[in-house]
Structure 1
Amino acid sequence: MTLHSIRKYRSKAVLYGVLCLCGYAMYAQNPLITDQFTADPSARVFGDRVYVYPSHDIRCDDKEHLRPKWFCMEDYHVFSSENLTDWTDHGVIVSQEEVPWADATAYSMWAPDCIEKDGKYFFYFPAKARDTTLNGKGFSIGVAVADSPEGPFVPQPLPIRGVRGIDPNVMIDKDGQAYLYWSEKHIYGAKLRDNMLELASEPKILRDLPEEGLKEGPFVFESAGTYYMTYPHVAGKTERLEYASGKDPLGPFTYRGVIMDESPDGCWTNHQSVVNFRDQWYLFYHHNDLSPGFDKNRAIRADSLFFNADGSIQKVYPTLRGIGRTQSLGPIHPDRYSDKSKTGVSVTFLNQADTFAGWKTIMDKKEGWIRYNSVDFGKETPGYAVLRVRSGAGAILQLRPGNGNVPVLCDARIPKTETWNTVKVPLHRTITGIHDLVLELLEGTAEIDWMKFE
């Protein structure tokens, strides 16, 4: 990416209220990215890091030629992490303005994927072409190539010939043969040539999947000799995540069941990828956490995924806590909780007009509690708990480990104030290693933004 391009996207970041500076680090639970809208996550392990290639939702109400209240995406970022908690934004890697064949006014850079082969990184993405003689009307699928998973990626001059559709996914089999999957009313599959830029076989409709209802977003992976085809499917009103399995990359596949149910909040889309990182499987997906009133602005999430002994996939239930261990040095956001009391605790945005600012926890009933799992205190015990809080009436908050009958860490007395304050409280005892944390209200009422230890 040129310096001119970087300046250009920084200007757009200001316009859309996001930050896209290369190398920007953020702490995350679910959703993983909270300074911009992200969707359709394709997760890959390259080296000792997980890289996520999502699409990038933006607000596009001022674009008169676009459908109002519809999806609007003009570019792609890539994010990476070595611990699944601290994520780095490596900036824009491809934009509609840089793709020679794409319609730069379409704002239709939908779900992408990326794969490594022979030291090169191939980024696959859908876009609407200016020239409909290439692959007909609608979407084509292009490729951008880089020497690093972070880019810079160079788009190829033309899209893949013979492929019309969206949501590309690539799987490289154990014998080195690469397969491309995509969707366009049906889910298709085909072999790729060694150059990863051309089809090596005719597209095949994978007809072994449920016929009724929209299917899109294929993501194929292999485990223990079985090929798993995962995809979103509208079996009811909104998309749920399903899967099928087979013994060949192009099927036949046998429908196996649901990985994730429809969103209880009514988010119309979902989109998934599945990755194994350090001997644990994870499901990456999206929801409209940061835009509850508009489900075309979404945010990527991740939760752990498990297999049964027969190779079937256990259903994944979405969590706020997500994945990864949070370092005790923080910040720790109790609003991304693992569990809470039935009453006395609620979560809402810090600022309804700026959802990127995150959430706060409201504790307004005595003995209301909230639990946050897997905080790593390391080998050196901290001396203080630090909380960013406010309380109109004053409060006492108790902080304790959640792993059994362990003594209380501290009772934090929160002064009466209408503004946010940072309260620093000495700990009663030493603590090292990994613990769940429980925060309980003993007196008064309080709002909590974050907490940490030092």
Structure 2
Amino acid sequence: MKKLCLFSLLMCSILAGMAETVPFNNPLFTNFRSPLWEGEGDTVMYTADPSAHVFNGRLYVYASHDMVPANGCDHMDQYHVFSTTDLTTWTDHGLIFGSGQVEWGRSEGGFMWAPDCAYNPADQTYYYYFPHPTGDGDEWNTTWKIGVATSNNPATGFTQQGYIEGLESLIDPCVFVDDDGQPYIYHGGGGICKGGRLKKSNWKQLDGSMTAMTGLSDFHEGTWVFKRNGVYYLMYADNHGLDGNQLKYAMGNSPLGPWTSKGVILYATGCDTSHGSIVEYNGQWYLFYHSSNASGQNNLRSVCVDKLYFNEDGTIQVVKNWGEPYNGPHTVTEVANTTDIALTLQAEDFNTGMHYGYWDTTTGNSTNAYRTDVNVDIKTENSTTFVGNMENGEWLRYTVNVAKAGLYDIDFYVASGNGDGKFHVSVNGTQKTAEISVPNTDGWTLFQKLTVPNIPLKEGEQYIDIRISNGFNFDRMEFRNAQLYSGRPYNGPHDINDGAVVEAEDFDEGGEGIAYHDNESTNQSGAYRTDEGVDLENSEESIHISWSNSGEWTKYTLNVQTAGWYDVVVRVSTGNGAPGSLSLSVDDIDEYDMVSTTTANWQTYGTVTVKNVKLTAGTHVMTLNIGGNINVDKFTFNAASYTVTVASDDNETGTATGGGTFDGGAQTTLRATPQSGYEFAYWNDGSTQNPRTITVDQSADFVAFFEKTAYLPDDSRTVCVTCDSRSNEISVSAGVGDLIMSADVKVDGVLVQSAKGIKQAVWNYTVSVPVTQKIEVVVKTKDYKIVKTYWK
């Protein structure tokens, strides 16, 4: 069974706002060896898609296995499990399951992707869930099944038990077991996320149908569900392009939603994919994820781990896995002119920590100059200290504090004796430039200025990556305000108010790198604007952007006449049954989530909506960013309006106000007022703030719960509470005509479970504790409270 969080609430108040990195020896498991995909010999162990669980006081990580040589994802043929008691010393339990054991699977093997594991205390069995296709050849992507293997040991002895009937062809299974012992299964992919119940009596069969998870912003794949303090969390990978997916999350009051998206947990790591799991172990929460730092190849990934922290309201802080600034802080100051230097940042002052602040493919600083405790080669010649001997796959990371958000030109001082150097720039894990070529400067110590224009930086702390694809020498960076945007509206002006339409083909004039970026220099279809490089096509009675590829973009100068929040509806089509995706940004600063869709074919159009785009009055530049192949026809700007409903769980106990219909961005105050003899307890999203002011950026439902000011004595028989001394299973049942509203479980005075808004007659919960500890159960109904204490 899962070991429950013994200190989460206690530590939450201490650690709120405290997200410092305590580095681990990332990436994990690379000290173990693996056989090659074919032939003799072995290589470094590469692992991905970690599923972390605590069983019997030990932390286990179930991972997929990238094999050498990498060949897409089809050389993933087996599963390993690793375990630890201190997150420092790990045990590789070896191969626990492989495609050769799947009797119903494809004969060609491979394709053993992200797995999960769950323990059923009723039959004392570990259930291992894994995706695998039945079809050979090109049929692999339409014949996915979720297989099941079982064992009485969490690390060995798994035997295949077939697959779960009734599931569609999706991947990435996740099994979450709720406090009452009910198992739920989730799977997804390609923008689809579904969840449903498994039978309590048979964890290999569905109990009813699967339903779509609603409220998730830009879902791609990789579902992970967990519960903390009575609130459910769903983490997933988004469709973020360029430097790879981000990990995002949503919160809800039910394991099957609806969900409310909350934002990013982990920025893109430079790897094409992202997949993670969250687990509590010994009072600390952790995020497991993967990156390709160790190999420099997207299909040879390695599992990593970092600490995870929650805010007081239950939201999750972004995992700070970018190290600490060296010789900092480094502040981009506010300056008046484009010639003024806002920050000079030396190349050798990259952030601290291998994997966190830099990645280098060789061991040690070969010259022992400046920083002797790093693996990066730092040299001093002709009174200049610089970073040298850089190789493909290496990167340097710098934390900067930006005084004023805006676009910045960064002057890189670089040297090369052959002109083969190449790199690109990322901000907070998002690639912001195409590959940049370093010119031949006629010597490895003859540094010249190379200007990289229009890098968007938000106000506050963020990190910048310099990712190397071929070597050069690097001295410093100088930050300056960017030159003013020189693009001009085409077929404009584009006046924006409610209902305004802008055609996608009417992107600004200004040319490649200013008004647009396209991978080809000519308009391949030759329609409409033949002197520009953006591919435009005339079909289905519309001119539209076509032949698009990830990383391409177009800009549009807007004249906003009516300020406010807008839902931008984009008319699009995709082909070949594959999803396409796009995102919008305003003034290169305000970036909005990638959205994706799939239409029947390139000639069948649908719409996607980028919600809550905030536009102030005046001139702004909107950028269309292509994430995946998609045709784009036009943008329709609709003024955003949202409905907030506010109610009391029971009007006899109290009332709640603050609802209504609001323009996007408006604020409203939610207020809960108890009736005589009652007091406010909490809102349905777990918040205990009353009154509370929220910014309305989506429709939402809020319910206020109240409880008696004075309860009957503890010996009330309205609620019956028992605790099995052998299994530590707590059973709670309400009397006739009553319902359990909340149940708190404490171990030695520390809250380990807080279930709110239950509204059910029976509630069960199993707590895993040493036999010397005290268990206290506090159960409340609308009118009664009972406290039971058990010494173990």
Asked if Structure 1 and Structure 2 have the same fold, meaning a TM-score greater than 0.5 normalized by the shorter chain, the answer is yes
Q: 2:157: which partner in 1? A: 152
Distance of 1:346 and 1:32 partners within structure 2: 16
State yes or no: 1:96 paired with 2:99. Answer: yes
Distance of 2:142 and 2:239 partners within structure 1: 24
Distance of 1:369 and 1:137 partners within structure 2: 53
Q: Is the 8 A contact 2:364 2:373 kept in 1?
A: no
**Residue type at the aligned position of 2:25:** Q
Distance of 2:216 and 2:186 partners within structure 1: 14
Aligned pairs (5 A) from 1:110-129:
110-118=113-121, 119-129=124-134
Distance of 1:239 and 1:338 partners within structure 2: 23
Distance of 1:174 and 1:290 partners within structure 2: 39
Alpha-carbon distance change, 115 to 363 in structure 1, aligned in 2, over 3 angstroms: same
Alpha-carbon distance change, 58 to 141 in structure 1, aligned in 2, over 3 angstroms: same
Alpha-carbon distance change, 30 to 340 in structure 1, aligned in 2, over 3 angstroms: closer
1:242 equivalent among 229, 248, 251: 248
Distance of 2:316 and 2:53 partners within structure 1: 19
Alpha-carbon distance change, 228 to 209 in structure 1, aligned in 2, over 3 angstroms: same
Question: Structure 1, residues 17-72: CA drift from partner, whole Å, max 9, x if none?
Answer: xxxxxxxxxxx8101110301000000001121100000011256xxxxxx54442
Q: 1:189: which partner in 2? A: 195
Aligned pairs (5 A) from 1:25-424:
29-34=25-30, 35=32, 36-60=45-69, 68-118=71-121, 119-130=124-135, 137-185=142-190, 186-194=192-200, 195-210=202-217, 212=218, 215-237=220-242, 238-263=244-269, 266-292=270-296, 294-318=297-321, 339=352, 348-350=360-362, 360-362=363-365, 364-368=367-371, 370=373
Distance of 1:174 and 1:163 partners within structure 2: 27
Task: Look up the SS of the partner of 2:364 in the other structure.
Answer: strand
Q: Is the 8 A contact 1:290 1:298 kept in 2?
A: yes
Task: Look up the SS of the partner of 1:40 in the other structure.
Answer: strand
Distance of 1:80 and 1:267 partners within structure 2: 25
> Deviation at 1:367?
4.7
Alpha-carbon distance change, 339 to 116 in structure 1, aligned in 2, over 3 angstroms: same
Distance of 1:142 and 1:69 partners within structure 2: 22
**Residue type at the aligned position of 2:203:** M
Q: Is the 8 A contact 1:106 1:128 kept in 2?
A: no
Question: Structure 1, residues 362-406: CA drift from partner, whole Å, max 9, x if none?
Answer: 1635552549xxxxxxxxxxxxxxxxxxxxxxxxxxxxxxxxxxx
Alpha-carbon distance change, 136 to 349 in structure 1, aligned in 2, over 3 angstroms: closer
Distance of 1:368 and 1:163 partners within structure 2: 54
Task: Look up the SS of the partner of 1:229 in the other structure.
Answer: strand
Task: Look up the SS of the partner of 1:100 in the other structure.
Answer: coil
**Residue type at the aligned position of 1:310:** D
Q: Is the 8 A contact 2:29 2:303 kept in 1?
A: yes
Task: Look up the SS of the partner of 2:220 in the other structure.
Answer: coil
> What is the count of residue pairs matched by the alignment?
305
Q: Is the 8 A contact 2:81 2:92 kept in 1?
A: yes
Q: Is the 8 A contact 2:365 2:372 kept in 1?
A: no
Gaps of 5+ in 1: 1-27, 62-67, 322-336, 351-359, 372-454
RMSD: 2.8
Q: Is the 8 A contact 1:346 1:362 kept in 2?
A: no
**Residue type at the aligned position of 2:98:** S
> Deviation at 1:208?
1.3
Distance of 2:87 and 2:47 partners within structure 1: 16
Q: Which has the higher contact order (CA 8 A, sep 6+)?
A: 1
**Residue type at the aligned position of 1:283:** L
Gaps of 5+ in 2: 1-23, 33-44, 325-349, 375-792
Q: Which has the larger radius of gyration?
A: 2
Distance of 1:45 and 1:239 partners within structure 2: 27
The TM-score normalised by the length of structure 1 is 0.63
**Residue type at the aligned position of 2:309:** F
Distance of 1:269 and 1:106 partners within structure 2: 22
Alpha-carbon distance change, 137 to 347 in structure 1, aligned in 2, over 3 angstroms: closer
Distance of 2:251 and 2:353 partners within structure 1: 37
**Per residue, is there more strand in 1 or in 2?**
2
**Residue type at the aligned position of 2:257:** G
